[in-house]
């Protein structure tokens, strides 16, 4: 069988459709065994791979507008896989996979130096300050496809890599080497009741994510669709999570430096 | 061998360099990190075969199809069914967190009986026997009407079993929990003569006008409404939200019109005024399919509803009102909806009628893209039960909540009136109350008064799976299984425009010593004997369900739902066979009366408006995942944050994050402030769903409950019409 072509899995989130309901966050928590604590109100200490931010246009009543921005790991490609976190990890606990474009996190390698957290411009990485504890009986709901993280390691969104592996295993059993678009979808994409999240292979022109973003793959996947933008584009991190909006102020909010000028 | 300085140094440095170049230090670091991370207390979920089971979610009336992932006999995830007509693969955050309800250690494990103020576990036999004994005693005393039952819904076999039980026992007091459907159903009946629920064909609308409905905050079936709102955007349709605060719905709308709270009905009449005055109504529809337009004209064309007057009342500009009316009437498929927030409060009937009239004027009634009267399903056809003299006499007595009485002829259920009825007289009108849904002790406004009223009931029986506020106050708790452990038929989906029956099926065997509510009813009837036993020929609810559905059972079991694809709106059933803007029954409702917020504006300078969030539940306990996902703008540590406008805060001398006391005529709560430009000055926005007195440690004791601060407001038809209360904020 032919060697499968390299993929560049990415996501585009329609911010005009996102209602900020939080179904993506909860679906992610359930899929990826995210722990919870008695008090999770301090979001800087709370572990959540997907977080919905609230953006405001800063105008006074009644011209105030708000927008919700779900933020998974941006799976930065950087230059040839040198994403900010991957290049600093002393333990090789995080890696950029050239076959899928997914930035991995290997918990058992991580020794908790948190250098990657400092390097990540998107706050996607979170440190386990506490042991994960489930109330009695609730550990029955844990998903065996995703390992539970222990105290002292950093974790982040993996684009539901376990779902990729499951889909790939099934395909191999059926004698295929390529996955169809719907075979591999992240938990947040699947759950989104507004249909705001589209996930797929940016390299594949048949995939919706490619058709929406129209990525310029020669230039780090810069979007050719004028309504699509990436967070902090000027840093050159080349994220593979794109955002779609027709509102200018939201696009500007994607880069706090631009907003200042 | 002589060790000189040179060879010693060569050995040390060479050794160091060699070690550094070897994998040893890295291997050691790695081993240490692995060793320190493999604590035995970090759970390792056991592997096993993965299977999926299709079922229906019952956590709200939305009726979404779910796909439950199991690993061996454990439920690990709940996803939306992509082939389900309501949610098409989507799921709301509550639905996705449903597993945590199944495995919650705070579930009631076996029947409980309160002895000396404390719960003691009892057997099912003992609990059912003792309650049946009380029922028998009451019946022998000739007061069967002193039994009442509060149920989540009046649809489906469980509700029908309860109703049948009460009928044969001799009590008319079956009470459904309130929702915006109460007002919509009454409006449909009055204007169209149809006994039906209101469906909204949102997927085909081109102009959606929402009068305070939290379309993206739990109104209807959330995934269905979300998808429709998104599709409206794709079609370049228009979506206008009228609401005093910048809710998530308002944030997503094309236009947010922050009107004064409580003036939604006035605005609806203002729009009708402009449409009628300028002759913008859809003439073919109004001329051929409606009657009594004169009655509406007489009312709506009054000066009180002229744009200037409406502008004065609502706080919008007169120009905006006129433009809105014109744009709405000119749209291809306009639709107006109401039911504040998640639609858990009926709101005033007159307000709903005004919105319904607005739809009728633009021809959006019983057509594609309009309000559609969805008939109540008729698959439950049981033989009429035999009733004895006691039952017949009991059924003649007026309902305890006053619904259907001379004073409230239109209402069918008025749970909101129950506390007042209970507080009357020397002995409370209800001696035995069963609660199988709605958690009224938390979800009804004016919690303190409600608690006082319910405490007068000599025997309160809760059938909740959880030790919620009502269960905690009950004398017996007969725990029901969760929706992942039982059979249930779910007729209809809230706001969905087509008739649908969904099936709930056990995904796992019941984890605890629970009993489905339907089985409790059958067991009670069997214990009571006589006509009651005869009325329930089924050995269990499951058998009853299979027999009742008969031919529909197999397709339902196979597919998980049955959708009537061919359904078309039915003709109007009024005397004139037309949509009636006026008739004898509508006459007393003609003159519109808004409901001001209770309280003295002199003492209470602000107005508290509660709001709904999809990350908080109203009656059920919010699962830990949702509490975790809750915004820090709503909950910070253990304090609820209330929204106020920065100008209001300046006037009070309070800053963002300040601790304050929120005081209303009904009570007081400790809150923290959240300053936002997204709320009308003078208002205090407060999320519903916190301040829980029971439930798990992730939820209990956090924040304050809005219901504790609100007062019950009743409209002329008896429906709960409250939307807020006067309030003041003081520095804590």
CA dihedral B463, B468, B472, B473 (to 10 degrees): -80
Average pLDDT over residues B20-49: 84
For the ranges A245-259, B314-328, B520-534, B660-674, which has the lowest average pLDDT? A245-259
Question: Does the pLDDT value for residue B30 go beyond 80?
Answer: no
Question: If pLDDT is split at 50, 70 and 90, which confidence band does B35 have?
Answer: confident
SS3 label, residue B66: strand
Q: Pull the structure tokens for residue B376.
A: 């109540």
Residue whose C-alpha is closest to residue B262's, from B242, B280, B240, B281: B242
Which chain B residue has its CA at the smallest distance from A16's CA? B252
Whole-number pLDDT of residue A258 = 62
Query: What span, in angstroms and rounded, lies between the C-alpha atoms of B724 and B710?
Result: 7
Whole-number pLDDT of residue A2 = 58
The answer to whether A89 contacts chain B (CB < 8 Å) is no
For the ranges A56-60, A127-131, B27-31, B486-490, which has the lowest average pLDDT? B27-31
For residue A172, being part of any structural domain is answered with yes
Q: Return the beta strands (E) in B122-168 as ranges.
A: 147-151
Q: What percent of chain B has pLDDT over 70?
A: 100
Query: Counting one residue from A and one from B, how many pairs have CB atoms under 8 Å apart?
Result: 218
ipTM score of complex:
0.96
Question: Does the pLDDT value for residue A7 go beyond 90?
Answer: yes
Number of residues that this document lists for chain A: 261
**CB-based contact B237:B206 (threshold 8 Å):** yes
Whole-number pLDDT of residue A257 = 67
- Average pLDDT of chain A to the nearest whole number: 94
For the ranges B199-203, B274-278, B563-567, which has the lowest average pLDDT? B563-567
Query: What span, in angstroms and rounded, lies between the C-alpha atoms of B152 and B370?
Result: 27
Q: Enumerate domains of chain B plus CATH numbers.
A: 5-37 (no CATH), 114-177+382-484+515-556 (3.40.50.740), 202-369 (3.40.228.10), 606-731 (2.40.40.20)
Contacts of A151 in chain B (CB under 8 A): 39
Render pLDDT for A180-198 as a digit per residue (tens, 0 to 9).
999 999 999 999 999 999 9
For residue A18, being part of any structural domain is answered with yes
Nearest Cβ partner for B631 among A54, A139, A153: A54
For residue A1, being part of any structural domain is answered with no
Whole-number pLDDT of residue B27 = 86
Contacts of A42 in chain B (CB under 8 A): 632
Question: If pLDDT is split at 50, 70 and 90, which confidence band does A261 have?
Answer: low
For residue A232, being part of any structural domain is answered with yes
Could you tell me the residue range of the domain that residue A188 belongs to? 9-260
Question: Does the pLDDT value for residue A260 go beyond 60?
Answer: no
Contact (CB<8Å) A66/B246: yes
Query: What span, in angstroms and rounded, lies between the C-alpha atoms of A16 and B654?
Result: 34
Average pLDDT over residues A10-36: 97
- Average pLDDT of chain B to the nearest whole number: 95
Contact (CB<8Å) A142/B45: yes
Contacts of B645 in chain A (CB under 8 A): 61
CA dihedral B545, B546, B549, B551 (to 10 degrees): 180
Question: Does the pLDDT value for residue B495 go beyond 60?
Answer: yes
Whole-number pLDDT of residue A5 = 84
Whole-number pLDDT of residue B29 = 78
Which chain B residue has its CA at the smallest distance from A108's CA? B34
- What sign does the dihedral B496-B502-B508-B514 (CA atoms) show? positive
Query: What span, in angstroms and rounded, lies between the C-alpha atoms of A141 and B350?
Result: 47
Whole-number pLDDT of residue B1 = 67
For residue A94, being part of any structural domain is answered with yes
The answer to whether B109 contacts chain A (CB < 8 Å) is no
Residue whose C-alpha is closest to residue A16's, from A248, A251, A256, A244: A244
SS3 label, residue B378: coil
Count Cβ atoms below 10 Å from residue B658 Cβ, excluding itself.
17
Query: What span, in angstroms and rounded, lies between the C-alpha atoms of A200 and A209?
Result: 6
Determine the distance in angstroms separating the CA of B159 from the nearest CA of chain A, rounded to an integer. Answer: 29
Render pLDDT for B40-56 as a digit per residue (tens, 0 to 9).
888 999 999 999 999 99
Question: Does the pLDDT value for residue A259 go beyond 60?
Answer: no
Whole-number pLDDT of residue A55 = 95
The number of domains in chain A is: 1
Whole-number pLDDT of residue B570 = 94
Whole-number pLDDT of residue B26 = 81
CATH code of A235's domain:
3.30.70.20
For residue A31, being part of any structural domain is answered with yes
Query: What span, in angstroms and rounded, lies between the C-alpha atoms of B363 and B356?
Result: 10
Contact (CB<8Å) B627/A40: yes
Average pLDDT over residues B612-629: 95
Angle at B497 between CA B491 and CA B503, to 5 degrees: 25
Render pLDDT for B428-467 as a digit per residue (tens, 0 to 9).
999 999 999 999 999 999 999 999 999 999 999 999 999 9
SS3 label, residue B238: strand
Render pLDDT for B686-714 as a digit per residue (tens, 0 to 9).
999 999 987 889 999 999 999 999 999 99
Residue whose C-alpha is closest to residue A161's, from A208, A112, A100: A100
Contacts of B635 in chain A (CB under 8 A): 41
């Amino acid at each position: 069988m032919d060697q499968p072509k390299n993929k560049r899995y990415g996501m585009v989130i329609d911010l005009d459709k996102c209602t900020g309901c939080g179904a993506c966050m909860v679906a992610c928590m359930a899929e990826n065994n995210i722990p919870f604590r008695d008090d999770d109100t301090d979001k800087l200490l709370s572990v959540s791979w997907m977080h919905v931010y609230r953006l405001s246009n800063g105008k006074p009543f009644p011209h105030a507008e708000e927008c919700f921005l779900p933020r998974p790991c941006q799976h930065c490609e950087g230059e040839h896989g040198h994403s900010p976190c991957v290049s600093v990890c002393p333990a090789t606990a995080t890696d950029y996979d050239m076959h899928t474009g997914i930035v991995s996190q290997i918990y058992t390698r991580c020794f908790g130096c948190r250098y990657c957290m400092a390097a990540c411009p998107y706050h996607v990485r979170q440190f386990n300050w506490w042991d994960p504890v489930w109330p009695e009986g609730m550990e029955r709901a844990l998903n065996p496809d995703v390992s539970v993280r222990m105290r002292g390691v950093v974790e982040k969104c993996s684009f539901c890599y376990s779902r990729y592996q499951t889909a790939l295993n099934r395909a191999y059993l059926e004698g295929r080497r390529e996955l169809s678009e719907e075979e591999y979808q992240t938990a947040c994409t699947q759950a989104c009741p507004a249909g705001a999240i589209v996930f797929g292979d940016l390299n594949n022109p048949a995939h919706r994510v490619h058709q929406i973003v129209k990525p310029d793959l020669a230039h780090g996947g810069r979007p050719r669709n004028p309504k699509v933008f990436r967070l902090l584009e000027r840093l050159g991190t080349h994220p593979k999570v794109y955002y779609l909006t027709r509102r200018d102020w939201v696009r500007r909010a994607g880069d706090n430096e631009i907003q200042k000028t | 061998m002589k060790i000189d300085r040179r060879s010693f140094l060569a050995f040390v440095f060479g050794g160091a360099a060699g070690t550094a170049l070897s994998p040893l230090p890295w291997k050691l670091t790695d081993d240490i990190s692995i060793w320190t991370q493999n604590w035995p207390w970090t759970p390792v979920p056991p592997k096993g075969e993965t299977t999926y089971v299709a079922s229906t979610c019952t956590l709200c009336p939305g009726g979404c199809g779910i796909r439950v992932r199991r690993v061996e006999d454990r439920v690990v995830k709940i996803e939306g069914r992509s082939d389900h007509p309501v949610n098409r693969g989507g799921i709301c955050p509550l639905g996705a967190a449903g597993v945590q309800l199944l495995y919650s250690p705070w579930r009631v494990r076996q029947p409980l009986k309160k002895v000396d103020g404390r719960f003691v576990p009892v057997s099912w036999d003992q609990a059912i026997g003792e309650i049946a004994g009380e029922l028998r005693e009451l019946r022998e005393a000739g007061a069967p009407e002193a039994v009442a039952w509060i149920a989540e819904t009046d649809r489906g076999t469980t509700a029908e079993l309860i109703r049948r039980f009460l009928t044969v026992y001799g009590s008319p007091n079956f009470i459904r929990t309130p929702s915006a459907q109460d007002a919509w159903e009454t409006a449909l009946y009055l204007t169209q003569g149809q006994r039906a629920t209101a469906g909204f064909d949102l997927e085909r609308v081109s102009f959606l006008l929402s009068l305070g409905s939290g379309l993206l905050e739990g109104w209807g079936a959330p995934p269905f409404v979300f998808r429709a709102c998104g599709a409206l955007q794709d079609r370049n349709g228009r979506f206008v939200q009228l609401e005093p605060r910048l809710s998530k719905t308002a944030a997503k709308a094309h236009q947010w019109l922050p009107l004064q709270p409580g003036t939604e009905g006035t605005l609806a009449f203002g729009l009708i005024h402009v449409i009628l005055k300028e002759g913008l109504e859809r003439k073919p529809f109004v001329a051929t399919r409606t009657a009594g337009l004169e009655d509406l004209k007489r009312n709506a064309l009054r000066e009180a509803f002229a744009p200037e007057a409406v502008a004065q009342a609502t706080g919008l500009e007169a120009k905006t009102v006129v433009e809105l009316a014109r744009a709405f009437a000119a749209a291809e498929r306009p639709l107006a909806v109401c039911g504040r927030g998640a639609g858990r409060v009926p709101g005033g009937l007159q307000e709903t009628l005004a919105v319904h009239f607005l739809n009728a004027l633009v021809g959006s009634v019983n057509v594609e893209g309009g309000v559609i009267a969805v008939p109540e399903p008729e698959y439950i056809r049981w033989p009429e039960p035999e009733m004895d003299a006691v039952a017949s006499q009991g059924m003649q007595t007026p309902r305890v909540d006053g619904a259907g009485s001379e004073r409230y002829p239109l209402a069918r259920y008025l749970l909101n009136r129950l506390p007042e009825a209970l507080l009357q007289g020397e002995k409370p009108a209800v001696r035995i109350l069963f609660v199988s849904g709605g958690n009224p002790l938390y979800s009804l406004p004016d919690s303190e008064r409600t608690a006082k009223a319910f405490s007068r009931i000599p025997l309160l029986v809760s059938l909740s799976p959880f030790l919620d506020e009502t269960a905690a106050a009950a004398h017996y708790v007969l725990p029901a299984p969760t929706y992942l452990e039982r059979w249930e038929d779910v007729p209809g989906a809230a706001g969905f425009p087509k008739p649908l029956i969904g099936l709930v099926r056990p995904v796992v065997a019941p984890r605890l010593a629970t009993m489905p509510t339907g089985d409790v009813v059958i067991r009670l009837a069997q214990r009571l004997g006589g006509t009651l036993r005869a009325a329930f020929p089924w050995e269990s609810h499951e058998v009853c369900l299979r027999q009742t559905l008969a031919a529909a059972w197999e397709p339902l079991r196979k597919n998980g739902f049955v959708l009537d694809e061919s359904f078309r709106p039915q003709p109007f059933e009024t005397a004139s066979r037309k949509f009636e803007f006026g008739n004898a029954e509508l006459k007393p409702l003609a003159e519109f009366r808004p409901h001001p917020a209770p309280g003295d504006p002199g003492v209470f300078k602000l107005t508290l408006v509660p709001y709904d969030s999809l990350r908080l539940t109203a009656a059920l306990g919010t699962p830990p995942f949702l509490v975790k996902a809750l915004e820090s703008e709503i909950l910070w540590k253990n304090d609820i944050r209330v929204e106020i406008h920065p100008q209001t805060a300046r006037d009070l001398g309070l800053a963002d994050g300040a601790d304050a006391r929120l005081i209303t005529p009904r009570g007081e709560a400790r809150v923290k402030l959240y300053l936002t430009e997204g709320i009308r000055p003078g208002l205090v926005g407060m999320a519903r769903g916190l301040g829980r007195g029971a439930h798990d440690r992730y939820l209990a004791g956090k924040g304050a409950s809005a219901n504790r601060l609100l007062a019950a407001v009743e409209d002329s038809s008896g429906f709960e019409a409250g939307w807020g209360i006067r309030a003041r904020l003081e520095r804590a």
